[in-house]
Amino acid sequence: MLENVNLDKKLSREEYKRSEPALQERLYHLEKACWDQGIPSVIVFEGWDASGKGTTIAALTQRLDPRGFKLYPIAAARTYEQQLPWLWRFWLKVPNRGEMVIFDHSWYTRVLHERVDGALPEKLWKDAYRDIVEFERMLADDGAVFVKFFLHISKKEQKRRFQAIEADPLEAWRVTDGDWNRNKEYDEFLAATEEMLELTESEFAPWTVVEATSKWYARKKVFETVIGAIEARLGPNAPPRTEAIDAMRNADLRAAMESLNGGGL
C-alpha cells in the first residue's frame, strides 16, 4: 500500500495560504455545530517522526474554540499504567458529548513502536488489533466521528529533516538517538504500519494516508478530510457553507499570525 503512495504531491505556500482562512473558518463552524448537537469526534495522528504531525495539529486547531476540543500528546505508558488494562489510559481521554479530541500518537503505539522495539511479546501486540477495533467500534456506535491520519514520508526525506533540525542549535535537542535508530529501522516500521493499516481499517474508523513531503499539501488534505467527515456525520444539520470569506477581515488577522510565528507557518 504505502510503496504505491505518490510522495511527490505538492502544494505551494501561496496556494495553501489562500485556502487556509476558509478551511479554518469552516472547521470552526463545524466544531460549534457538533457542540450544539452533542456529537463527539476523535482525530488520531500517527506517522513517521518529523513528518509534521505537531505543526499540522497546530494549524488545524489555530482557529478552533479551545473550549470545544482537547489535545493529548501520547507518550509511553507510565509505571502504574502498565499494571492496568492497556487501553485504560485511553478510555480516560475519550470525548464528552459535543467535544473534539485530538491524539498526537495514540493506542496505535502498541502495534508500531512497542512492536518494533521488542517491548511486547508477539501475542500481546497481535491481540491489540482486536482490542483496537472493538474500542473504536464502541465509540463509533456511541456516535463519535472518527478520523485517523498516517503522515507518510520517505526514509530519505526523514533523514533530511533530522539533519535540518540538528543544524539548528535551538532545535537540535528534538532529535535523539532513538529517532536515528528508528530511521535505520524504517523498513521494519513500514512493514508494521502496512499491517496496522490493513487490520484496523474499518467503515466506522477509516484511515487516511497523507502524503507529507509537502507540508502545505499535507495540511490542506488534513483540513479537507476532517471537514468532510464531520459534514457527513452532521448531514442536513451541517451549517451552510458561505460562498466567500471576507478577505479584508482575514487579511489583518493573517498578517498578525504570521508576524507572531515569524512567517514559519
Confirm or reject CATH 3.40.50.300 for domain 2-258, answering yes or no. Answer: yes
Q: Which residues, in sequence order, are CB contacts of 149 under 8 Å at separation 6+?
A: 43, 44, 45, 46, 47, 207, 208, 209, 210, 222, 225
Contacts of 222 (CB under 8 A, 6+ apart): 56, 60, 149, 210
**In the numeric block, which cell numbers belong to residue 101?**
479530541
User: Is residue 22 pLDDT above 70, yes or no?
Assistant: yes
Res. 137: pLDDT tops 70: yes
> 71-118: per-residue pLDDT in tens?
999 999 999 999 999 999 999 999 999 999 999 999 999 999 999 999
Spatial strand order in the sheet of 41-47: 69-73, 100-104, 41-47, 145-152, 207-211
pLDDT value for 116: 95
Separation in Å, CA 13 to CA 20, 97, 162, 265? 10, 36, 22, 9
Range 158-184 average pLDDT: 95
Residue 177 has pLDDT above 60, yes or no: yes
Phi-psi region of 263 (alpha: psi -120 to 50; beta: other; left: phi over 0): left
What pLDDT sits at residue 242? 75
Provide the residue ranges of all domains of the chain, joining segments of one domain with +: 2-258
